[in-house]
Amino acid sequence: MLRSLYSGVSGMKNFQTKLDTIGNNIANVNTYGYKKSRVTFKDAISQTLQGATARTSAQQVGLGSQIGSIDTIDTETSFESTGRTLDLAISGDGYFRVRGNDGQIYYTRAGNFYLDSNGNIVNSDGYSVLGTNGNPIQINSSTVSNFSIASDGTITDQNGATIGTISIATFPNPAGLTRVGGNLFRQSINSGNPNTNITPGSGSNGTIESGYLEMSNVDLSEELTNMIVAERGFQANTRIITTSDEILQELVNLKR
């Protein structure tokens, strides 16, 4: 069989993965706190037909391509002003910490938070937002009529009394976090351990902006351009398969 036939197949599979990733980015163009993904390719192994000598280079034929990586691009993007106190955005490095119903701690940049029936600050799935003490933050509606959130995460009531402090976490490699859906990430081996003993706004740590939400960092024009490139790449690889098939057909027809 022709090597080009299998090279074309590998190219088609890789460009299909790229199109899947682009489609997911476009679907999340309006998802708060979403971080886009990017697919990179790398060449597969090369078959050596003749080794190198003192005067000639090696003769090698490549055997297609494969997925090099699927990266999370964790760049910060613009904020949307909402004027709602519990809509929070992190300006700079860091992630909000929430505890799921399974007891696991997750991390998110989507700061659209709410109060549940017990006065706990939760996300849209009901996961509790954690304070600097590692516990959920509760606002007693019977004694608190109004509250505000400072840039360091401190929540104060109408009398200036501190209710709690919202915690954020930073990672040595935030791009290594694992997506789990629902705008949430989970710690992985590649992300490193979270640093939670920090104060928002200190050093390179991000500040918490109340009344704002971080928008998706998906650039629609860029994604549509990449989609065209991926589509043409897919078509080019189908042409490789078609041409290889025509050559094989000619070989079969040599004896009539």
Pull the structure tokens for residue 68: 């090099």
Pull the structure tokens for residue 143: 């004694």
Q: Tokens 């589509």 belong to which residue?
A: 231
Pull the structure tokens for residue 104: 């696991």
Question: What is Dmax (Cα atoms) for the chain?
Answer: 97
Residue 256 pLDDT: 65
pTM: 0.88
The rounded distance, in Å, linking the Cα atoms of 223 and 216 is 13
Question: Which residues have C-beta within 8 Å of that of residue 56, sequence separation ≥ 6?
Answer: 50
CB 88 within 8 A of CB 166: yes
Residue 201 pLDDT: 77
The rounded distance, in Å, linking the Cα atoms of 97 and 105 is 7
Residue 33 pLDDT: 94
Q: Which of 230, 205, 179 is nearest to 40 (CA)?
A: 230
CB 93 within 8 A of CB 173: no
CB 157 within 8 A of CB 163: yes
The rounded distance, in Å, linking the Cα atoms of 196 and 38 is 28
Q: Which of 40, 20, 74, 32 is nearest to 190 (CA)?
A: 74
pLDDT in 10s for each residue of the chain, 256 residues: 678 888 999 999 999 999 999 999 999 999 999 999 999 999 988 888 889 999 889 988 888 899 999 999 998 899 999 999 999 999 999 999 999 999 999 999 999 999 999 999 999 999 999 999 899 999 988 888 899 999 999 999 999 999 999 999 999 999 999 999 999 999 999 999 999 887 787 777 889 999 999 999 999 999 999 999 999 999 999 999 999 888 888 888 887 6
Q: Is 35 exposed, middle or buried (0-12, 13-18, 19+ CB in 10 A)?
A: buried
Would you say how long the chain is, in residues? 256
Q: Is 166 exposed, middle or buried (0-12, 13-18, 19+ CB in 10 A)?
A: buried
Q: Which of 85, 110, 97 is nearest to 32 (CA)?
A: 110
Return the DSSP state at 130: B
Pull the structure tokens for residue 241: 């398969």
Q: Is 209 helix (H, G, I), strand (E, B) or coil?
A: strand
Residue 205 pLDDT: 80
Residue 25 pLDDT: 97
Q: Tokens 């025509």 belong to which residue?
A: 246
